[in-house]
Structure 1
Amino acid sequence: MKPLIVEHSEPITLIGGGEVGENDLELALAVAPVLVAADGGADRAVARGHMPQAVIGDFDSVSDVVRRQVPPDRLFPVREQDTTDFDKALRHTRAPFLVGVGFLGGRVDHQLAVLNTLVRNAEKPCILLGAHEVLFHAPPRIELALNPADVVSLFPLARVSGRSTGLEWPIDGLTFEPSGQIGTSNRSTGPVTIEVDLPGLLVIVPRGAFDLVTQAFRSAQRAQWPAHAE
């Protein structure tokens, strides 16, 4: 296993160097009070008056000005170029769950890399907060107390199948895969339960459901994928 840099009993907010909405960081910190920056995310955090407890990355994005402001014992360089800073930060942290801000929006290639990282680190529960949606990698089972007519999009990055309750178009009997069946623009009829057989399915719900998603991630009813050996 990769050595951990930050391990905490409280949820962690992970801030990246991408687009961070006006209230994103405060909204995340209200439920995940431990702040960790992925490289250039430190600039975003300091600009909003928050000093991260750790900065993790290859340090090619954080500015020299901010790097001098961060206490040296909070700087954790990971000197390799094979992975993104989001990947580095996610792999080197452990918490009940993480909330990521500054990782959606902006360049499409960056977003695709983030989604790839979510799936490859399936055992790391992480909620990404965007301008319009909340996105997360589906655990084996999750219950979401959504409102009727909420949009629920399911997008596979691997071949998966599953079951659902509370969706207008149930997923029972379907096989999702990136080059085949996908499940965008489904709708809830009320509280939703989603079960999947393997990692690889992304769930996207409205931003207004952020509190409901974090409640589900805190719940003992949410199963987790097992950690994989590295």
Structure 2
Amino acid sequence: MIATTIVHDSRPVLLVGGAKVKKKLLSAAIVDGTRIVAADGAANRLIKRGVLPDAVIGDMDSLSSAAREVLPEGRIHRIEEQDSTDFEKCLSRIEAPLVVALGFSGGRLDHQLAVLHGMMRYADRPCLLVGKREVVFLAPPRIEVGLPAGCRVSLFPMAPVGARSEGLAWPLDGLDFEPGRQIGTSNRVAGEGGEVAVRIEVESPSMMVILPVACFAAVRTVLRDPGLARWAAPRPDPR
């Protein structure tokens, strides 16, 4: 079953979860005209900060009555099925060049793992997960981004995957990445100064890339580019 799109935009969309988000980070993610989607009860915290989301998507088990009273008609979208998380309910129903996700890290580990699962499940929906210290994204088929020399670049395979690279101190070429066998923790950008063009290619939508949060702006610019190679949409569930 393919989810029906609720939010469509030609610009990146901000998706906010229920974990705590620093005001400075939230402000950095909101630019003029940014549409904001709240995952269920995340709307409670946004409204208290004076931010009214354009849409609230989820099973609505956490949305407060106070939030319901101030949200304009048509902004609450209840998805009753329980086979997916609120993050997946949102990501699968947002059509945009990029979804910037805040408030989905720093809390329970099982919730964070579920978010990574959702990013992989809906690999055709580019998503940049932003936390207090890192940004995380599922590597597209090919990506090139300018990063500072010496910058930490960690790669974690969610399934067996081959990869190639340029600009990293330890190339990815020829390595058989697989959970429990080969991961890529604490690689770094080659060189000793300035910015380096880092190129990464992967064979399947299975590799998470983890960078310092200081790389947020650079990565957002690259991931939102409509010319970036992207993964195909998942096939409809025959059930």
Partner of 2:7: 6
1:71, distance to aligned residue in structure 2 (A): 1.4
SS of residue in 1 equivalent to 2:107: coil
Number of positions where the alignment pairs a residue of Structure 1 with one of Structure 2: 230
Partner of 2:216: 210
1:30, distance to aligned residue in structure 2 (A): 2.2
Instruction: Give 1:6-155 correspondences, 5 Å limit.
Output: 6-30=7-31, 33-155=34-156
CA pair 175-32 structure 1, distance change in 2 beyond 3 A: farther
CA pair 178-165 structure 1, distance change in 2 beyond 3 A: same
Q: Tell me, in whole angstroms, the C-alpha distance in 1 between the residues paired with 2:151 and 2:17.
A: 28
Q: Give me the CA root mean square deviation.
A: 1.3
SS of residue in 1 equivalent to 2:111: helix
Unpaired stretches in structure 2, ≥5 consecutive residues:
191-195
Moved more, 219-228 or 168-177: 219-228
Partner of 2:186: 185
Moved more, 216-225 or 138-147: 216-225
CA pair 115-43 structure 1, distance change in 2 beyond 3 A: same
Partner of 1:227: 233
- Could you tell me which amino acid in structure 1 is paired with residue 109 of structure 2? V
1:215, distance to aligned residue in structure 2 (A): 1.3
1:22, distance to aligned residue in structure 2 (A): 2.4
Per-residue CA deviations over 1:160-190 (Å, capped at 9, x if unaligned) read 0110001000000011111210001000122
Give aligned-pair identity as a percent: 48
SS of residue in 1 equivalent to 2:91: helix
The answer to whether the Cα contact below 8 Å between 1:13 and 1:32 also exists between their aligned partners in 2 is: no
SS of residue in 2 equivalent to 1:223: coil
- Could you tell me which amino acid in structure 2 is paired with residue 133 of structure 1? E
The answer to whether the Cα contact below 8 Å between 2:12 and 2:224 also exists between their aligned partners in 1 is: no
CA pair 100-43 structure 1, distance change in 2 beyond 3 A: same
Per-residue CA deviations over 1:187-227 (Å, capped at 9, x if unaligned) read 01222110000011000001001011011113355210011
Per-residue CA deviations over 1:137-158 (Å, capped at 9, x if unaligned) read 1100111100001100000111
The answer to whether the Cα contact below 8 Å between 1:137 and 1:200 also exists between their aligned partners in 2 is: yes
- Could you tell me which amino acid in structure 1 is paired with residue 171 of structure 2? P
Partner of 1:197: 203
- Could you tell me which amino acid in structure 1 is paired with residue 149 of structure 2? P
Q: Tell me, in whole angstroms, the C-alpha distance in 1 between the residues paired with 2:176 and 2:228.
A: 22
Q: Tell me, in whole angstroms, the C-alpha distance in 2 between the residues paired with 1:32 and 1:195.
A: 32
Moved more, 26-35 or 90-99: 26-35
The answer to whether the Cα contact below 8 Å between 1:143 and 1:222 also exists between their aligned partners in 2 is: no
Q: Tell me, in whole angstroms, the C-alpha distance in 2 between the residues paired with 1:63 and 1:210.
A: 31
Q: Tell me, in whole angstroms, the C-alpha distance in 1 between the residues paired with 2:68 and 2:110.
A: 26
The answer to whether the Cα contact below 8 Å between 2:97 and 2:226 also exists between their aligned partners in 1 is: no
TM-score of the two chains, using structure 1 as the length reference: 0.96
